Amino acid sequence: MAFEKEVYVPVQILTHLADRLSWTQPVISSPAGVVIMASMNHYETRSKMCTNVTRLVLGWMAIAAMGANGDYAETAVSQPREFVKTPYPRIAMLWAPIRGDNSLESMARHDLIMTGSGRLGLKWDGDTRGLADRFTADSVAAAKKRIAEIRTLNPDAVIIGDLLFYEYHDSWLPEDHSWWLRKDGKRQQFWPGTHRMDWYNEDYRRHVVRQTVALKEAGVDGVFYDNIRNEPQPWVALLKAVREAVGDDFLILANAGYAIGKYDFAAPYLNGMMYESGWSHSRTQWDNCIRQMQHTQSLLRQPRISLVERFEETRERAGWPGDAKRGQKPPADDAARWWSLCYTLCIGDFYYLFSDNTSHRHDWYPEYDVKIGLPTAPGEQINSHVWQRRYEKALVVVNLPGAVAPYEIKLDKPAKDSLTGKLGTSFTVPPGNGRILVTVE
């Protein structure tokens, strides 16, 4: 593919891309043009090097979709997506960016970005918010520019738009509107200041389909539906209609909340389930939980984008509206982060987030930047609480909460634990902990 005009790539963007793709020694030429040179690090193979060339050039091509002053060009280059080859661990953003950093650069560090339409610059078109089913033309242009900017930083990020549908703010529709869910004539409150929508109302479901189409036309990769419930009839009806409207390539992610294996009726229409932290709270027996998660995963359509979230703070209603401590960083719990990340890496192919609580605020941890490649085999159960899985660059081991004893690991070659920093051939994994043992060459 050739461009009719020369495109000069900012040094800082090339450097960011090179760092992300495990390249070294990016060399930027004089203003006469751009030259990219790289050497393989000790983990690379020639085939992976070729893949990284492709990914780096794709990021460069995305920049070409912007004008000389960084303005979005409507003739943006169409890029093949490579996110299914993104190395692990794959880190997700759910609404909230990295603590204290609202920049696009912060968003682009994540491998899956789920965000509200407003953060992308989208504005619903209409005087009555609850009736709007398309975005203003100006805001669509702004969103496409913002998405293009994210793609210059991370070409393979999965960008998902949140669509509020389960509950509406009280001001979005007149109180007597037929779309509100009512019981004995009274609207049903959800969060304070919001009420539930009548999910069984076919006219309302058609409205949600139109809104989903509007999100697709704004340039995101998929849609996020919050608050899936055990209501097969309206959910299946909606998802069938959505698939007919947006096709098979548009991604659909749904929030299963704290439930495991309860919503398999929806799985064939979805690309992913989101599991909020309650799946793990106080759990000490794991076989059934893992079996159900893996079964649901097998029912989803490809490509799969399921994600596992663990809260640092597990007290009742932490982070909910009205919580006096909402917005405060909870006490650190490194062990919870380590075992839940290793659990996610061992039992399947999931994105991961360790956040404060239901606010989904989070920090960026050093182990997120230690990419261990793709799995080379399925996870292996060692005993009732210990699982392990091999990746291209590491062995991941988890000793789940409830285990009665530490688990000892003996290796033939030295490895470095990306979680604790320990280097050696012998490692101990206490109950409720994990290790990511990166091979040392």
Query: Where exactly are the structural domains of the chain?
Result: 1-80, 84-372
Report the pLDDT value the prediction gives residue 436, as an integer from 0 to 100: 98
Q: Which residues of the chain have pLDDT under 70?
A: 1-81, 320
Report the pLDDT value the prediction gives residue 142, as an integer from 0 to 100: 97
Cα–Cα dist 91/107, whole Å: 11
Cα–Cα dist 79/32, whole Å: 26
Mean pLDDT, all residues of the chain: 85
Report the pLDDT value the prediction gives residue 366, as an integer from 0 to 100: 98
Cα–Cα dist 389/342, whole Å: 9
Report the pLDDT value the prediction gives residue 283, as an integer from 0 to 100: 94
Cα–Cα dist 3/308, whole Å: 41
Report the pLDDT value the prediction gives residue 81, as an integer from 0 to 100: 63
Cα–Cα dist 178/298, whole Å: 38
Cα–Cα dist 171/194, whole Å: 9
The domain 84-372 is classified under which CATH number: 3.20.20.80, 3.20.20.450, 3.30.160.100, 3.20.20.140?
3.20.20.80
H helices of 21-96, in order, are 46-64
- Walk across the sheet containing 251-257 and list its strands: 92-94, 112-116, 158-162, 222-225, 251-257, 272-275, 307-311, 351-355
Report the pLDDT value the prediction gives residue 392, as an integer from 0 to 100: 98
**In contact, 254 and 269? CB cutoff 8 Å:** no
Phi first, then psi, for residue 409 (nearest 5°) are -120, 130
Cα–Cα dist 350/109, whole Å: 17
